[in-house]
């Protein structure tokens, strides 16, 4: 499989390493002040560029009928436009806030727990995410996905960054050191609390999941999610 890397920072390099180990070829790389290879040769493009560059990078690939795996967060105001371009060009697009297999299992656990706790109004939900100081967006895309899943399966109306009201879900964001990613869901009452947590030890899990998605999407047309890849 021939891969175009849209974004050649830490994640791009991690994906490249695993891709080469699995026998794939990197035919294109683009990053700030860096452009090497030929995107048109790619069977699939994997986007982990910064939010300000993500939309343009993705659109260029889709307009050339190259399927795109996108892991960049902080650009979703343009999601509808991007998916329309993918469909118009008869190719495929898959966005996920997190490609880690473990996180996607965590998503499933989160939704199941939310449905159970919904019946017990004494428990107040909250979300906390911790990431490295280089992460540009806050809350993280993963934290927003977790919050949206809780809201869909509860009586809460929306999420907020602080001072949550009765029908709001607070997401607390912390940036420190080189933390790859920690996400914690807590349900707290006056007498006890219930906590579930996912901690990434490094970026390999994200890179591996993105590559699995890329291998899966080649030859397909349409708009997909990681649930489709993992057959959840």
Closest by CA position to 41, among listed 18, 22, 54, 24:
24
Q: 82 CB contacts (<8 Å, ≥6 apart)?
A: 55, 58, 59, 62, 93
Positions marked catalytic: 131, 135
The Cα 150–Cα 106 span in angstroms is 12
**Using CA atoms in the order 4, 1, 95, 85, what is the torsion angle rounded to 10 degrees?**
70
Separation CA 31–CA 8 (nearest Å): 5
| Gap between the Cα atoms of 86 and 223, Å rounded | 8
């Amino acid at each position: 499989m021939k891969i175009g890397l849209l974004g050649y920072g830490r994640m791009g390099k991690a994906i490249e390493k695993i891709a080469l180990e699995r026998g794939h070829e990197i035919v294109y790389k683009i990053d700030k002040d860096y452009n090497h290879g030929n995107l048109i040769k790619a069977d699939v493009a994997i986007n982990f560029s910064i939010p300000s560059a993500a939309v343009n990078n993705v659109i260029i690939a889709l307009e050339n009928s190259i399927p795109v795996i996108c892991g960049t967060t902080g650009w979703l105001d343009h999601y509808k436009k991007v998916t329309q371009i993918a469909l118009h060009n008869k190719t495929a697009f898959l966005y996920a806030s997190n490609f880690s297999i473990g996180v996607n299992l965590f998503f499933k656990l989160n939704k199941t727990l939310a449905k159970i706790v919904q019946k017990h109004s004494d428990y107040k939900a909250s979300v906390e995410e911790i990431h490295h100081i280089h992460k540009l967006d806050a809350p993280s895309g993963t934290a927003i996905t977790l919050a949206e899943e809780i809201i869909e399966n509860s009586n809460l109306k929306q999420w907020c960054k602080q001072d949550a009201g009765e029908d709001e879900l607070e997401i607390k964001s912390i940036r420190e050191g080189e933390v790859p990613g920690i996400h914690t869901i807590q349900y707290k009452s006056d007498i006890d609390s219930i906590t579930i947590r996912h901690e990434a030890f490094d970026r390999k899990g994200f890179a591996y999941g993105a590559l699995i998605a890329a291998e899966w999407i080649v030859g397909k047309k349409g708009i997909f999610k990681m649930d489709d890849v993992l057959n959840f």
